[in-house]
A = this chain, B = another copy of it.
Amino acid sequence: MMLDEILQGITQNISPLSAVTLADVKRLAKIREVPKNEILVREGDYSYELYYVVKGGARAYYLKDGKTISDWFAFENDFISSIVSFFLEVPSQHYIETLEDTTFMVLQLKDIEFLCDKYHDFERLGRLSTTKTMLQLQQRIVSLQFKTSKERYDSLLEKYPKIELRAPLGDIASYLGITQETLSRLRSRKNRI
C-alpha cells in the first residue's frame, strides 16, 4: 500500500517507529491529490495541516507590498506547511500553492499531538525532523546573509537541479531575495560562460 512506502521512506531517513506506532500513524495520515496551481492555505487561514510531498511540488509564499515572495519550495520527500501558523496556531501569513499536480500525505496537528503524546518514538521522529528543518533554515540564512545572488542561485540549483523547469522565474527570484529581472540577467550571464 502507498502509505507504507511513504512512511518507510520517512522513518528510514529520520528515525524508526515501532509497528504499533506505525499502525496508528497509518490510520491517521491521509493521501490527498491536488491539481496544479491550487491553493491549499490562504493568508488569514488557521492551518492545522502538515503536508509531505509524495509526488509533485508546492511552494509557500507571502505578500509584501502587493508582491508575492516565495519562502519555501517542497518537492518529492519534502515537508511543507504554513510553518508559523501550524506551530503557533495563529492565522497564516503564508499561502501554500501547488506548482504541479501533486500527491501529498497530510497529517493534522491534533493527530500529531496525539501521536507525540502517546508514542515516545513518534515524539523522537518529530524532534529529529524539526531539527532537520531547522538546519536547512540555518543554511538558508547563511546563504541570504552574505552570498552573492549568483552563489545563492547555484546552491538552490544544487538542491533542486531542475527547479527552473518546475517553478516560474519570479517565484525562484523572490525565494533568492532578488527581482525576477535580476535573476533573468544572472541566468543569461551564466549561460554565456
Residues of A within 8 A of B (CB): 62, 64, 69, 71, 83-84, 87-88, 116, 120, 123-124, 126-127, 130-131, 133-135, 137-142, 144-146, 174-175, 177
Q: Are B177 and A144 in contact (CB under 8 A)?
A: yes
Q: A133 contacts B134, CB within 8 Å?
A: yes
The dominant DSSP class at the A interface is: helix
Answer whether A83 and B138 are a contact pair too, CB < 8 Å, given A123-B127, A126-B127, A130-B130. Answer: yes
Least Cβ–Cβ distance between A156 and chain B, in angstroms: 13
Q: Which residue of B lies closest to A83 (CB)?
A: B138
Least Cβ–Cβ distance between A80 and chain B, in angstroms: 13
Q: List 7 A-B contacts (CB under 8 A).
A: A71-B145, A83-B134, A120-B120, A123-B123, A130-B131, A141-B141, A141-B144
Question: From A132, which residue of chain B is reached at the shortest CB distance?
Answer: B87
Report chain B residues within 8 Å CB of A177: 144-146
Q: Report chain B residues within 8 Å CB of A71.
A: 141-142, 145
C-alpha gap A111/B57 in the complex (Å)? 39
A79 to chain B, nearest CB (A): 12
**Pick from B116, B135, B175: contact of A127, CB under 8 Å:** B116
Our pick among B69, B140, B142 for the contact of A146 (Cβ within 8 Å) is B69
- Least Cβ distance of A154 to chain B in Å? 15
Q: Given A64-B146, A69-B146 in contact, is the A84-B127 Cβ separation under 8 Å?
A: no
In whole angstroms, how far apart are the Cα atoms of A163 and B120 in the complex? 40
Given A120-B123, A124-B123, A130-B127, answer yes or no on A145-B146 (Cβ-Cβ < 8 Å).
no
List B contacts of A120 (CB < 8 A): 120, 123
Residues of B within 8 A of A175 (CB): 145
Complex interface: chain B residues within 8 A of A137 (CB): 134, 137-138, 141
